[in-house]
Structure 1
């Protein structure tokens, strides 16, 4: 935006636009409310006086256009006032408190919810965008009208995006397609969603948009004639059945055509050669009667019927969908819905304000929206940072629903590809955190099994179980992903604190009686220096390898005891005992895969904790360039854990050799994690085995067993 001198030539146009807005609002608002709206118009015009958009028009035209979009959906006057003032806090000298005094706290809160975070410095544009979205979603949870204003604001910006630079147009268009259009769809506002998608498509891929637009234009004339004939025949048949209905042709929007062509790799003719008809009736019972008439008039496609009336979509959308064999076997998509459902499909949660009643037609969709927003709030609380939250929201905004049942018959809607773990987290976070198995239609299945519509799913839980990090590789819902990350993050901190305590106590041996005897003033001074809130934070830093225990111990000791401190090399001679069950802060090098019984050494890896290596590992030589990061470790006598061991086996290439190898390993009570083969030539094969063993002795038994096989030519432990 730029400041220019006030130009009187715009004043007449401004008055006309204000009158037009008030005329639309006057069709459903009280006269005193229209006057308050006109007052807000005057205030906004004064606040933005002399500010112009990149297109050259006065800035006030933008908030007027945003308010007009919302007035066409019949929003209340509070929302319209906030729409007129939505950029005042961000772009002018007026504060939230001044708006509250003039227009009331409700309007001021809405404006504040829409405003960006302009006073905070961020490390990157992505972080700034993510934090803005986080703030907006928090405001949405308090009042849904925040997102309505934001969507109308984005829609008008997209309509006038041509004045921006090409790179800015592409960035804003991508953001619109990734965030704003899906939000509009999730809130049931399909008419707004489609316009946002088409505008985003036109600016992100202008050439593809023009080519597709021209292709649709060339075929539209002939299609209109065919659709008109279909409408006439269907209308006549319904009248014969004495059913009152509106029959309308339904066009596909360009972004929908493009996405289907791209995702399913279809040519244009295969996507566009589908005719769509919408039938709107009075009550739900009539919807099912019309469905029967349609299936008698034209034969239905098998498995192409969806009942979104009995099982609404996540955004509250309701309709019957069916695909029919039309004249000359041309596919016809038919949607059947009531007038109320039709309004819902077009304006979604906005229907709540259209009907002005919490118990009216809009309440069901609004309740769905609030449930979704509550899920977003839960994700926000678990997310480690705004960028992670934004990624979770993106995942959640693209559901292709699957509907499954709990054992009690409750319906759970999930995205396509969701697994039993996603289902468990959809029930409750505690159920997901403790699930160990699942039954689908009374049959045990792996937790990573994708679910399909109509299945009944039962989750098996164990109170002592905890999430597996491997679940992150296959879960698809944002709630499951954020819940697993949240749990593992807290678990990792607890494990880091315990390890840090052990390392610090080890460093203090012979210097002081225990951690409880550390001078409090020295502890507090160190915490302030490191900007840590408590002593556990310091222990966690030590456990994660971010700080060295020996140096921290020296800083914490009293001044008069420093002369008696033993040097670090003497302290390090007392090894740290490793059990293998310490959790995520003690890892084992995949380069050498150490086992209990192997001579080992520990490496402090910042952010990961201790990584255990065999002392003859090829990487140890390079790591020893940093001696301060190495720590003496030993195995405890009873490890109590299973470890991975890798073998390389060369065998004669004979039929059944893999079965022979598996049987030999099984005889030693050893589990095979993975097995891969590489054929070297026609006579020999190299087999790579990853085994789960308790210690080096068990691995030795496996190797002795394998050497007894006549097919074995060469055997070696890898690493």
Structure 2
């Protein structure tokens, strides 16, 4: 309490002195002069008043003095007073024309973390709104975003959750990071690389997503300087040399554009600018080209008074100079998700130079440079800043959507993958047949489009039309494509392989969820069949209602959870029976006796109690013996492997000896094939082939002629005269397999053929 009273007295005393004294008499800094010149109180007030005449000067003065006193004699790594840092952060935010509360939060953003100040003190002196902003920034300061993937993902999750409620927290954090990057040379070298990597991975893309392009470019360039100083030096040197050589040309293009537009009745500001070293380096890396091959290092912005003049300017430019095909983009009619609006075009200008033009209005230019910060936070009568952003900013809508993905992601890594994908990718704009605009990351395909429309559309997609023509679902989309997704009610779950094809995090997460659900349903289906057949053999009644009452004894939340656990092998069917009927006694089961291949006693039960097996692509998690498979006609047994489902073995398979001490894993199964729609099943043959030209072709020919399908083949040479072949093939049944074996044995190039049983 003593520190609280002392600080409050000093704050109010100094604030009163500031209000009463002439500006020149106000002490601008502590008694001990810092090494760097600091902005004085009245300078800060004047900066804010320049764009917000209604600013609360008293509030700004109190915050200035409070932060200065709280940080006291603390020093930065550079030797400057620590207070110079929050002051510079506030100055950056005044350039963005932000409201009083944000400026004050910038001044105070390190007080709770680095001084004896508390949230209670901040609330008491400055109000709960500013207190909440400062506390949010305090939490963010503790996050280290470059680390192990799981930790990085969780911290990014916390970052986005913190800024979703009030985006001003992000704006202060970005300004804080920008000033830290400007002074990174004073940070120990061990930490420098981590901070730069974190900036390039998270904060620069976030600034870009919020539409703050100028800040993004500076953050990227400062990080690039630390992470790859040699490359930065080379690109900067080349840029400087090219700028010197092209100075007259740039001036000529600016003059010609201005004069030509004025002659046609358009008053415009033409600004020539060069690309930043980082964006040039990334383009060289992405396209594997040299500096000399770049043709759009210099660009020109044409700022006009209205949207109508922007489109008139396009016509004037295109009728004056030849247009480079494929380089026209209209982001006025279809803005980017970060609110960016401009028309881009490239022409062959004076000196046969490619000239990239960006045409926009003054308001668009302001939003394009400052993004979400360009909205007038300080205007009265428009609600809270968050309410304003919800009405006016697509960038804030993206942020809210990204936070919603938190609840859909199964783990932090999935969320990190989704968010990084959304942060780093530029966009393409496509349309549904009804004209709805869908924005996707560049290189996205139809699968991504389908999931962007609706998860159900993605899960049931079976084909597509792009601009009226049939195309694969993996087709990469381009700006302006009209995409019609063809769906089928028969497909309720997407192929798991789609996860590797999808680009967007939303599509990948949805495919994972659908795949997990489908697998769980398979296990639940298998578990239900196991449980029902156990009850049938035991001649006791099964009912879901009775099982529901036994759920607490099984420690499961639902019937499906119980069935899935049985199907995965995590729970025995007999455990379910005992939970429902405490006096149930498990029937004795006999495994395979050692040294024999006798069928277990349970498989002699009536066929009605055995689980029907149709093949691999069914509603059961079924696979066949890895060394030899099984085909209809074989007497078979199922082995339950926890987490993997059922493995089907022929009863004569030697591998069954490995399970003879685990009778609880043996399962009664039977074939359930349909002659109307035959399926292939796996088998393996061991062939000794005479080593002469064309012998392998003869073996393959026999299998093909008899409608067998070779899935894999292995060869080994044991003697000069013979080659041993191991052939994995697919056949319809045992009769089909025996016919192929007989035909192979009839060939003169085949010494022997034996079926392999796992």
Matched, 1:149 2:184: no
Contact kept in structure 2, 1:646 and 1:688, CA below 8 Å: no
| 1:160 counterpart residue number | 183
| 1:325 counterpart residue number | 348
Q: Equivalents in 1 of 2:748, 2:88: separation in Å?
A: 80
Contact kept in structure 1, 2:145 and 2:155, CA below 8 Å: no
Matched, 1:190 2:213: yes
Q: Equivalents in 1 of 2:142, 2:642: separation in Å?
A: 33
Contact kept in structure 1, 2:445 and 2:474, CA below 8 Å: yes
Contact kept in structure 1, 2:146 and 2:197, CA below 8 Å: no
Residues 536-545 or 265-274, more deviating = 536-545
Aligned runs of 1:258-657 on 2, under 5 Å? 258-271=281-294, 274-353=297-376, 356=379, 366-466=392-492, 467-500=494-527, 524=552, 527=555, 537=561, 540-545=564-569, 547-549=570-572, 565-566=586-587, 574=602, 577=611, 579=613, 580=616, 583=619, 585-588=621-624, 592=628, 594-598=630-634, 605=641, 607-612=643-648, 620=655, 627=662, 630-638=665-673, 645=682
Which residue among 188, 196, 200 is the counterpart of 1:177? 200
Residues 635-644 or 374-383, more deviating = 635-644
Change (3 A) 1:417 1:255: same
**Shift in Å at residue 199 of structure 1?**
1.2
Contact kept in structure 1, 2:109 and 2:134, CA below 8 Å: yes
Instruction: Give CA deviations for 1:450-496 in whole Å, capped at 9, x if unaligned.
Output: 22233221122234422221211211112111122223233433444
Instruction: Give CA deviations for 1:98-138 in whole Å, capped at 9, x if unaligned.
Output: 54454444334434444447999999743232122112223
**Shift in Å at residue 177 of structure 1?**
1.9
Contact kept in structure 2, 1:18 and 1:64, CA below 8 Å: no
**Shift in Å at residue 220 of structure 1?**
2.3
**Shift in Å at residue 428 of structure 1?**
1.5
Q: Equivalents in 2 of 1:59, 1:331: separation in Å?
A: 48
Contact kept in structure 2, 1:348 and 1:365, CA below 8 Å: no
Contact kept in structure 2, 1:321 and 1:334, CA below 8 Å: yes
Contact kept in structure 2, 1:63 and 1:85, CA below 8 Å: yes
Residues 348-357 or 73-82, more deviating = 348-357
Which residue among 44, 49, 59 is the counterpart of 1:36? 59
Residues 335-344 or 121-130, more deviating = 121-130
| 2:733 counterpart residue number | 696
Q: Equivalents in 1 of 2:334, 2:745: separation in Å?
A: 62
TM-score (norm 2): 0.77
Change (3 A) 1:298 1:120: closer
Q: Secondary structure at the match of 2:274?
A: coil
Which residue among 251, 270, 276 is the counterpart of 1:228? 251
Q: Equivalents in 2 of 1:124, 1:584: separation in Å?
A: 41
Contact kept in structure 1, 2:631 and 2:734, CA below 8 Å: no
Give the paired residue count. 694
Contact kept in structure 2, 1:321 and 1:333, CA below 8 Å: yes
Change (3 A) 1:305 1:272: closer
Instruction: Give CA deviations for 1:508-540 in whole Å, capped at 9, x if unaligned.
Output: 87598668799999964774xxxx766765654
Contact kept in structure 2, 1:518 and 1:556, CA below 8 Å: no
Q: Equivalents in 1 of 2:104, 2:472: separation in Å?
A: 54
Contact kept in structure 2, 1:235 and 1:247, CA below 8 Å: yes
Q: Equivalents in 2 of 1:241, 1:568: separation in Å?
A: 96
Change (3 A) 1:84 1:263: same
**Shift in Å at residue 189 of structure 1?**
1.1
Residues 91-100 or 203-212, more deviating = 91-100
| 1:3 counterpart residue number | none
Q: Secondary structure at the match of 2:344?
A: strand
**Shift in Å at residue 662 of structure 1?**
11
Q: Secondary structure at the match of 1:248?
A: strand
Change (3 A) 1:258 1:584: farther
Change (3 A) 1:524 1:27: same
Which residue among 33, 41, 44 is the counterpart of 1:21? 44
The RMSD of aligned alpha carbons is 4.9
**Shift in Å at residue 159 of structure 1?**
1.9
Contact kept in structure 1, 2:525 and 2:620, CA below 8 Å: no
Instruction: Give CA deviations for 1:266-302 in whole Å, capped at 9, x if unaligned.
Output: 1111126743222111111212222222223321112
TM-score (norm 1): 0.80
Q: Secondary structure at the match of 1:332?
A: strand
**Shift in Å at residue 40 of structure 1?**
3.0
Contact kept in structure 2, 1:550 and 1:568, CA below 8 Å: no
**Shift in Å at residue 438 of structure 1?**
1.6
Residues 196-205 or 61-70, more deviating = 61-70
Change (3 A) 1:463 1:518: closer
Residues 223-232 or 587-596, more deviating = 587-596
Change (3 A) 1:703 1:295: farther
Q: Equivalents in 2 of 1:502, 1:102: separation in Å?
A: 68
Contact kept in structure 1, 2:467 and 2:482, CA below 8 Å: yes
Contact kept in structure 1, 2:640 and 2:667, CA below 8 Å: no
Aligned runs of 1:33-182 on 2, under 5 Å? 33-49=56-72, 51-91=74-114, 96=119, 99-116=122-139, 125-182=148-205
Change (3 A) 1:389 1:593: farther
Gaps of 5+ in 1: 1-5
Residues 81-90 or 462-471, more deviating = 81-90
Contact kept in structure 2, 1:48 and 1:92, CA below 8 Å: yes
